[in-house]
Amino acid sequence: MSENNTPNQNAQTQQPLSGKSVAFLATSGVEQVELTSPWEAVIAAGGTPALVSTEQGDITAMQGDWEHGESFPVDHHVGSVESSAFDALVMPGGTLNADSLREDEDVLRFVRGFFEQHKPVAAICHAPWTLINAGVVEGRTMTSYSSLSTDLKNAGANWVDEQVVVDEGLTTSRNPDDLDAFNAKMVEEIAEGKHEGQTA
């Protein structure tokens, strides 16, 4: 520790998400590493992650679209929790996960709540499918898995092919190869708190 840093300042630097609660929205079919890597990054930054799902009990992740991964315990059913209970939202990808979530009205209500309250949202890979259905991408600059680019453009987003894109509290990335950059920007945006430009 340098002489210029007091212990309190150093602790704050190391724990930028201290006291913050972060919802992870996922169901079975979620890309495992896109759930576990950001989850670990939130914990490492001092935050408290919670798994919110359309399912009860456990969800089963996937490694790619074909190989089953591990199971993870659900903390809250999406129909019984409000976005106001959390400081931020993280949306992992996975084709099956995103395709299921985007058809659920409780999911869309939950997601819209974060935008209405100007709270940070981070979405990777196929997760922006759900943002399209929630009606929150128009006018936003963002990226995603490449096959979603036309869908996002048709919904009014400015789609770009970049490792990570940040637009007023909305952080997006393309695929698992981008996770280091995604996690860093996700933590930074959550630490900053509400963004007035983040709106439904």
Query: Which residues are the active-site residues?
Result: 125-126
Distance, in Å, from the CA atom of 154 to the CA atom of 147, rounded to the nearest integer, reads 13
Taking alpha carbons only, the member of 1, 34, 4, 47 closest to residue 183 is 34
Residue 170: partners with Cβ closer than 8 Å, 6 or more residues away? 120, 121, 122, 123, 140, 142, 198
Cα 117–chain centre separation: 15
Indicate the DSSP class of residue 41. H
Order of all β-strands in the sheet with 48-53: 76-77, 48-53, 21-25, 88-91, 121-124, 170-173, 164-167
**Three-class SS state of 20:** coil
Distance, in Å, from the CA atom of 135 to the CA atom of 15, rounded to the nearest integer, reads 33
